[in-house]
Every structure is written in structure tokens, then in C-alpha cells.
Structure 1
């Protein structure tokens, strides 16, 4: 059995089958993709412990980051979250049914109804976010400070180069 990890074994097979191609990028991209999947599983555990999905956590956190009165319009929520506008209404409805957010009338425009955290929503996201940060600290501790700092710089530069910052 080879000492290679899954990405390394895949590269080895492609090098054998297609020696005319440089499969070096698979080492980075494949491992980064697998890392993202593994991290998502680790993060989902904390969301689930607070009876939230990743998207619901994202909506509540975005409202909390807005500062008092902890509200944003649907357009602002879509702009500041990883939730598409199509999926946003369903998530806001679900959070509203649970008493975590409410749609409030706007004095400026009757059609514009900002979404606001309720006190229960604020309490939940404050607890969930504290647990989330503890979890992220635990995950980064697996690397060590120097590697985590270097990785953050590299990923920031790469996202910028991709126009995805």
C-alpha cells in the first residue's frame, strides 16, 4: 500500500495513464476541495447542535453583524450571505416561524420590509457564534499559528486573483 493520500494516489494513476499531462495542480486543488468538504462537516456539527442549517446560521449571523437594530433588507441579506435570493425567502420564512426573525414594516417604502432579529434570534446566534468560533479555533489549532497565518495570506491572494474576494 502506498504512503500517498487519496489525492496523491489519483495523481499517480493519472501520471501513469496520461504521462503527457502535468497533473501537479490536482495535488493542490484536490486537497483544497477535500479540505473544504471536511471543514464543512466539522462546521455543520455546531450548526446542528443549535438546530440550525449553515444557511440559517449565515442569515442570523448577517443580521447580528449589522448592529442594532439587527436588521437588513432582503437585498442586503443576499449581498452579505452565501444564500441566493431564491433560497432566502424560504429560510427567512422558516426562521420567522421559529420566532428568530421578523419582517418589519418600512416607513420609507411599504413594499420594503426589512428582516430583523428577534430577542430569541439574537440569543441563539450569540450562543451559536461563540460555539462556532471555538470550533474554528480548534480546527485551526490542528495547523499551528505559522501555517494558519500563511494559509490565510495565500487564500486571500488567490481569492482576489480569482475575483472571488
Structure 2
């Protein structure tokens, strides 16, 4: 059986594989934008004054203050825009209009960003307090939990609601 035949016969599995592999394009976008943002907002412009807004707390030392927040914001928005187009056209080959899909994807992206900001603290604390894990292992488990949750939530919402 050829690869093409296999992908046609197992379209759902193939979409899931493409979803996970091609999501790395947005990850690369996020990393590049974060490096550029830090160079611009933190190093060049010196926007390191403490910043706190809603659930975003960039007031502690080492968070780079306002520059850290702007770096996060720009990198995340650009990564999500890239991911939207990658998922719509390359993974799900959606014929759904961008106008109809974009607002749905924006809701999904905001949900995932909020969960990614809030969940790690709870998972890390749970691992350390309940199982006595060190910071490195508990942070790794929190990162894995975040990633798995994002996949479990994102894939079906993209497939059946956003990019149908």
C-alpha cells in the first residue's frame, strides 16, 4: 500500500498527524518573535517597568516587565495567526470562509492562552506538594499537561467547528 493510499484510507489519523507536526510552524514563529520582541522591547527600548493587567503579571524580577508582556503578546498573536492559516489550509483543507472561522479560532486561541498561563502554576504546585517532585520535573509535567490539553481541546474544535 502506498503512502498516498494510506493517507486517503486513514484521513482522520493523517489529519491528526499533520495537525501536530504542522503546529510546530507556529511554535517556530513564536520563538522567533519572542527573540525579536525581547531584543526590541526589552533591550533596545528598555521597557522593563513592572506591568500587571488582569491575569498577566510581569511585575516580578526576571519577567522583563512591560517589555516581557509586549514580547509575549506579539509573539502569541503572530503564532496564532500563522497557526490559523496552517490548520485551515494545510491540515483540514477547509473551504469554510475566513470570516466565519476567524472569530471561532480567536475564541479558541484566547482560551488556550489563558489555560497555558494559569494551569502550569497549579500543576507544578500539585506535583511538588502532593508528590514531593523538584521544580524541574514538576515544571516539565506542567508543560506536558498544557500541551496535551491544548491538543485534546484544539483538534476536535478545529476539525468539527472551525475548519469543518
Band of TM-score, shorter chain? 0.3 to 0.5
Greater fraction helix: 2
Normalising by structure 2, what TM-score? Answer: 0.36
Asked which structure has the greater CA Rg, the reply is: 1
